[in-house]
Amino acid sequence: MSRFMIGRRGTAVLAGVTTAALALSACGVASTSSGGSAGELTLWTHNAGNPAELGVVNQIVADYNASQSKYTVKLQAFPQESYNDAVVAAATAKKLPCVLDADAPTVPNWAYAGYLTPLDLPQDLVSKQLKSTLGNYQGKLYSIGMYDAALGLFARKSALEAAGVRIATVDNPWTAQEFADALAKIKADGKYQYAFDLGTGDSGTEWWTYGYSPFLQSFGGDLIDRNGYKTAGGVLNGDAALKWATWFQGLVKNGYTPAKSSTDAFADFVNGKSAMVWSGIWHSGNLSKLGADGIVMPPPDFGNGPKIGGGSWQWAVSSTCGEKAAAMDYITFSLNKKYLAEMAEKQNVIPATEEAAAMVDGWQPGGAKRFFLDESAKYATIRPPTPGYPFLTTTFAKAAQDIIAGGDPKKILDQAVSDIDADLKANNHYGF
């Protein structure tokens, strides 16, 4: 029909568009590559919104850029909660930066996926680091951290004294029985709504694994059989795991801990709602609000020694980086003890080396903050270094949530093992 025929005016428009398209096609092509343009090293970090840590990284980048003229490091900061998603999306688009930081347990997965390249750093530098700051996978070093974090049993000294229980120390932690007695006595005292807040209000998967799997390990269980990394059977649903699950659920059943904590269990602890709270070094600054009444202790020993999770954020180099030597050079530069010390001071984290610890007030032997370094050195357990960790952590978190909610521990753990083993099988045991 005539109304759909192209008239003279339409022909002119079409001709104009075609000419423009042809003219544009004659334009050159600008190229970009992963990791930045020539002479530029892109660096991604997870600490947008965290001025303390970001400030130190910014300082290191500025110092490095001033120290040489061949490369310019360009920093891009992302918020921690969405950092992993941004990295995976960038990997999909082949737009990974040269240098990036990674949360320790995700490193094997990213190495297995081909995102990361092994680090080639001076051995004398690596050997000084705390073991938990090294991200090894299949015998190769893929990441290295400036610090580590640690968990602790934060408590009110007055509550323990009123209950007549002793204060645990790194060298003399509570036994399972002592912990049980402490909970019962504090509850009987009736001063606090809860004797112990586990912090179950955090719905983030990793907290459930980072926070609670060390208890499982202390009972003698684990997320996966580390002898081969081919099954979770026996370790996540064996007798020890069942004992852990029963104890874990009992904390709620006995009224010691809320089934679902508020969104900020530490604030509740400070406000006097609970006598003890399970939390991390990142809250040690808030502990000072309680003055001398605020103390921190190691976790109890449930039979296999006290355990806490090891491994925090660490630096890595992407496999697509066009300037790997420069990236290694930057990481070496950033691990200078003065930066490790500055990070420990500003961010309130465990310095990665003793040399750095000696430079910061409170971290020297006998210092006020030394507890976390000693605890970490003695009790930190690296989360399973397997590419299957993302599935492990999701599955464990779901199982732990179901147990807390009152489900049958044996059924829940058997199901978790079945799911994990199916994932391992579907992925050829991730190369193990």
Binding test (CB under 8 A) with another protein, winner from 16, 39, 51, 255: 51
- Read off φ and ψ for residue 162, nearest 5 degrees: -65, -35
Residues 99-158 that bind another protein (CB under 8 A): 149
Binding test (CB under 8 A) with another protein, winner from 12, 89, 113, 368: 89
The C-alpha atoms of residue 320 and residue 135 are separated, in whole angstroms, by 19
Token code pair at residue 211: 């926070």
Give the alpha-carbon dihedral of 238, 242, 245, 250, to 10 degrees. Answer: -170
Binding test (CB under 8 A) with another protein, winner from 5, 22, 66, 93: 93
Binding test (CB under 8 A) with another protein, winner from 41, 43, 73, 77: 77
Query: Least distance from C-beta 6 to another protein, angstroms?
Result: 14
Query: Least distance from C-beta 376 to another protein, angstroms?
Result: 16
The C-alpha atoms of residue 408 and residue 412 are separated, in whole angstroms, by 6
Query: Least distance from C-beta 326 to another protein, angstroms?
Result: 20
Question: Any contact of residue 22 with another protein (CB under 8 A)?
Answer: no
Binding test (CB under 8 A) with another protein, winner from 11, 172, 263, 288: 263
Contacts of 46 (CB under 8 A, 6+ apart): 77, 78, 79, 80, 83, 101, 103, 313
| Residue burial 199-211, b: 16+ Cβ < 10 Å; e: rest | bbebeebbbbbbb
x/- map, 278-297, another protein, by CB under 8 A = --x-xx-xx--x--------
Binding test (CB under 8 A) with another protein, winner from 72, 80, 205, 415: 80
Query: Least distance from C-beta 48 to another protein, angstroms?
Result: 6
Q: Whose Cβ is closer to another protein: residue 103's or residue 342's?
A: 103
Stretch that binds another protein, among 119-127, 257-265, 396-404, 413-421 (CB under 8 A): 257-265
CB–CB of 316/116 below 8 Å?
Answer: yes
The C-alpha atoms of residue 3 and residue 6 are separated, in whole angstroms, by 8
Binding test (CB under 8 A) with another protein, winner from 19, 172, 254, 271: 271
Distances from the Cα of 393 to the Cα of 201, 225, 401, angstroms: 17, 14, 12
Question: Any contact of residue 268 with another protein (CB under 8 A)?
Answer: yes
Question: Any contact of residue 175 with another protein (CB under 8 A)?
Answer: no
Q: Which helix (H) or strand (E) holds 79?
A: strand 72-79
Query: Least distance from C-beta 197 to another protein, angstroms?
Result: 12
Token code pair at residue 357: 């610890």
x/- map, 360-379, another protein, by CB under 8 A = --------------------
Q: Cβ-count burial of 142 within 10 angstroms (0-12 exposed, 13-18 middle, 19+ buried)? A: buried
Binding test (CB under 8 A) with another protein, winner from 76, 169, 203, 254: 76
Question: Any contact of residue 172 with another protein (CB under 8 A)?
Answer: no
Nearest to 271 by CA among 156, 150, 151: 156
How many residues interact with another protein (rule CB under 8 A)?
Answer: 43
> Tokens 């926070």, residue?
211
Query: Least distance from C-beta 29 to another protein, angstroms?
Result: 5
Query: Least distance from C-beta 36 to another protein, angstroms?
Result: 11
Binding test (CB under 8 A) with another protein, winner from 2, 8, 22, 27: 27
The DSSP annotation for 271-325 comes to TTSEEEEEEEGGGHHHHGGGGGGEEEEPPPB-SS---EEE--EEEEEETT-S-HH
CB–CB of 105/393 below 8 Å?
Answer: yes
CA 397-280-163 angle, to 5 degrees, is 100
Query: Least distance from C-beta 23 to another protein, angstroms?
Result: 9
Nearest to 170 by CA among 278, 280, 277, 298: 298
The C-alpha atoms of residue 432 and residue 300 are separated, in whole angstroms, by 33
Stretch that binds another protein, among 256-264, 350-358, 368-376, 393-401 (CB under 8 A): 256-264
Stretch that binds another protein, among 44-52, 101-109, 131-139, 227-235 (CB under 8 A): 44-52
Under the rule (CB under 8 A), what is the footprint of another protein?
A: 3-4, 24, 27-30, 32, 44, 48-51, 76-82, 85-86, 89-90, 92-95, 149, 262-264, 266-268, 270-271, 280, 282-283, 285-286, 289
